[in-house]
Structure 1
Amino acid sequence: MEVDLIIRGGRVIDPANNIDDILDVAVKDGKIAALGANLQVESTTSEYDASGLLVTPGLIDLHVHVYEYSTPLGVNPDTSCLARGVTTVVDAGSAGCGTFPGLRKYIAEKSKTRVLAFLHISAHGLAAFGCAAGKSTGGECDAIQHLDVQGCLDTVEQNRDLIVGIKIRLTANVADQGRNEHEAYRRALEVSEKTGLPLMTHHTISTVPLHSEDAKELSCPGSLKKGDIYTHSFHSFSSSIVDQATKKIDPGVWLAKKRGVIFDVGHGQGSFAWWVAESCAEQNFWPDVISTDLHSGNTMGPAYDLPIVMSKFYHIGMPILEVVKAVTATPAAAVGASDQIGSLSVGSCADITVLREKGVDLELEDTIGEVREVKKLLQPVAVWREGMTHTVTSPPEPFPNKAILADMMKYAHILANT
């Protein structure tokens, strides 16, 4: 067998195929050619020694914002994601039906990273503003006429190769102080149903309840169906899945998880609290998907990159196989792409990430100014996208980024009193 690349002797973790073993991975023409112990090849263009390292399918970040230059949140997917071991990203609603052509032409078609997208229910997506309303531009759902169902339906049909879901932010101050929230949610659910695509919901400081005894009343995640995605699962503000007093998970959340709703991290700049994640871990509630919500406000902390967010869940006891599954097999299935990405199956895209499990003694911050001392850090050391190698970089050190800790605590105080 002649191959272009062989990765030798790493601990291969491929949850999609129930693999956790010391194996070699062979690549030919951008596809996985073979997987096995001590593979014999006639020739190879490149050989990589992965001894002592973890070899996984290329990491998938299900929640990022990469509409660079056209939205305040946008970051470059190649420098902020691919260079940190992430081969596929899904932009979470930066573009709506009125702005999606630019995301396609200038980001998805020009990036080395594979870029997919959730289409925002608002026609302009997040072009007007970033994290919340309150500036002169207002929130993306402040004007009900911008919630264009037919525009979304048309845009999805024209871009089925890139659009993998619908996105809405359920936060009162981006929806005319809550007056438009329920109608925006209803329209997003309608588009999701008519297109057959999952709905991703951001649900923080919202007038929409977590659950309702009245089946006709909209709730979140109560109104979500199997395959829909509840992001920002571990924030600590109102609409949190964990009761602040009892530290118990809302019963509607357990029902939604049983129903097949996907719970996503969406770490972000304000959506990951150590105490919430730890409370959930104590109740054996783990995220189905680990994602960053990476954007211009958190690449220097507190999110940094996907391996750092993975490390936070590894720290609180999530098994390494489940951590890897949450950034490979599960997000691939969530966007209907398991036949191409999210595994090391022979014939699938040769998207491969190599990680080092490094022993450390450092602190990592959450988004409300709390820190935890972690002992293990997952670090990307090599990455291939369709068999092509790319340079890996490192986030800023030392951790935590003390320059932003004070801002995080201020931000948490503001939101807690909103």
Structure 2
Amino acid sequence: MAVQGSPSAHPQRFDLVVTGGLLTDPLRDGPEPGDLAVQDGRIAAVGAPGTLDGHRRLDAAGLLVTPGLIDLHTHVYAPRTDLGVPADDIGVRQGVTTVVDAGSCGSDHWTDFSDNVVRPAATRVLSWLNISRHGLVHGRRELSRGPDDIDEAATEKVLRDHPGQVRGIKVRMSSSVLGDSGLAPLRAAKRVAARVGRPVMVHVGNEPPRLGDVLDLLGAGDVVTHAFHGKPGGLLGSEPEARAAVERGVRLDIGHGSASLSFTAAERALAAGFTPYTISTDLHARNTAGPVHSLVTTLNKLLALGLTPQQVIRCATLHAARVLGLDGELGTLRPGSAADLTLLRTADTAMTLTDSEGVTRTCAAPLEAVTTVRAGAPVAPR
């Protein structure tokens, strides 16, 4: 994204101009000074500093102007599930313009979820629909009753009827969820996903099933969330299958959660060449006060592990948009895309951060959310 232009290049007055900031295009190596114009809820133009005029001006001096952050794994089905938190509390009020609910809702409750969570939120709310028909509404062993928990036809219908909101299927593949179901729910999710052309997000954790057996069933575009947990097994316990999965396009996601980001495990995985494709939080009612806190805090934890600011921003913008099949609409500062923006400050005070196991690391220059712009409208984070 070349930032260029002169005052005569864009003579019109736009709805909003974000001025004085460092435009941070995930496709580039670093930020560039420039102005960004918004018209009718979309990015209308980018230009050199001082070249764009707007009815309103948002001063971004000294701030990174990034595409709106996308949290690929959250739980926002409140109050129907005991984990649900209000979408805006972890969305626009924390510098995040899009949250994706990861399996709180299944086909049985989609209408209620859409009416009472998606529509009222200022934050864009998308969904990974749970392969379990009842999602997490009746508890967190949603796949323990075998075939009675899954209605493939109903799941497929929701995906076909609501393609803009439902971006894929969620299935939790760990022993605490499955009972005696084994790999059958994942196979069901893959069948439905193949019929509608959408990816699957797979929760991994305590074995069985063995991670390698789960990975063998996944293909290009599918997502493994909680990929950097510290439980027995993990990526390095199934290293051949993990390398083969990444090579064929399976994406590794952080999915921090209460028990699924281990600094030690992540450091070993990073050293072995496993890099997260996306960074998400798994925020829910039991971890907003810690250890997760927010998506920006989670980005800082990956900075503490050696990723660069451009890498973590790319993971939570461009890469997340690609997972959702929304590349070009979200995750970019290119004209024509949605005017969802996050303005970030780089703090000059180091921050001590805690993982899911109580282990700490230090981020020397943490990011802080300053302002969110959602569909062209500024919102001040809490």
2: distance between equivalents of 1:258 and 1:20? Answer: 30
* Residue equivalent to 1:127: 137
* Residue equivalent to 1:297: 286
2: distance between equivalents of 1:375 and 1:19? Answer: 19
- One-letter amino acid matched to 2:284: H
* Residue equivalent to 1:264: 253
Tell which deviates more after alignment, 106-115 or 278-287. 278-287
Structure 1 runs of 4+ aligned residues shifted over 3 Å read 16-19
8 Å CA contact retained: 2:24, 2:30: yes
8 Å CA contact retained: 1:141, 1:181: no
* Residue equivalent to 2:262: 273
* Residue equivalent to 1:412: none
How is 1:37-186 mapped onto 2 (pairs within 5 angstroms)? 37-41=48-52, 43-130=53-140, 139-144=141-146, 145-176=148-179, 179-186=180-187
CA RMSD of aligned residues (A): 1.5
What secondary structure, in the 3-state scheme, does the structure 2 residue paired with 1:307 have?
helix
Shift in Å, 1:173: 2.1
Tell which deviates more after alignment, 156-165 or 8-17. 8-17
8 Å CA contact retained: 2:35, 2:48: yes
List alignment gaps of at least 5 residues for structure 2: 1-11
* Residue equivalent to 1:136: none
What secondary structure, in the 3-state scheme, does the structure 2 residue paired with 1:193 have?
helix
Q: Does 1:220 align with 2:223?
A: no
Deviations 1:89-143 (A, max 9, x none): 111011001011111111111100000001101010011224xxxxxxxx10011
Deviations 1:277-316 (A, max 9, x none): 1112223322000000111111111110000000011111
Shift in Å, 1:46: 1.8
2: distance between equivalents of 1:50 and 1:239? Answer: 45
1:8 to 15, 19, 27: 19
2: distance between equivalents of 1:356 and 1:221? Answer: 38
Shift in Å, 1:361: 3.2
8 Å CA contact retained: 1:286, 1:318: no
Shift in Å, 1:38: 2.1
- TM (normalized to structure 2)? 0.93
* Residue equivalent to 2:199: 198
- One-letter amino acid matched to 1:167: K
* Residue equivalent to 2:34: 23
- One-letter amino acid matched to 1:285: F
8 Å CA contact retained: 1:17, 1:345: no
2: distance between equivalents of 1:221 and 1:97? Answer: 25
* Residue equivalent to 1:344: 333
2: distance between equivalents of 1:373 and 1:20? Answer: 24
1:229 to 219, 223, 235: 223
- One-letter amino acid matched to 2:375: E
Shift in Å, 1:210: 2.6
Tell which deviates more after alignment, 278-287 or 70-79. 278-287
8 Å CA contact retained: 1:288, 1:326: yes
Shift in Å, 1:264: 0.5
Shift in Å, 1:9: 2.2
2: distance between equivalents of 1:284 and 1:359? Answer: 30
2: distance between equivalents of 1:121 and 1:91? Answer: 13
1: distance between equivalents of 2:216 and 2:295? Answer: 28
Shift in Å, 1:203: 1.1
8 Å CA contact retained: 2:342, 2:373: yes
Identity fraction in percent = 35
Deviations 1:154-179 (A, max 9, x none): 12122112110000000112111xx1
8 Å CA contact retained: 2:38, 2:339: yes
2: distance between equivalents of 1:289 and 1:361? Answer: 24
Q: Does 1:254 align with 2:243?
A: yes
1: distance between equivalents of 2:117 and 2:43? Answer: 26
- One-letter amino acid matched to 1:151: A
Deviations 1:158-213 (A, max 9, x none): 2112110000000112111xx102111211111111111100000111322232xx
Deviations 1:215-268 (A, max 9, x none): xxxx2222110000000011011341134xxxxx71211111111111100001
2: distance between equivalents of 1:20 and 1:363? Answer: 26
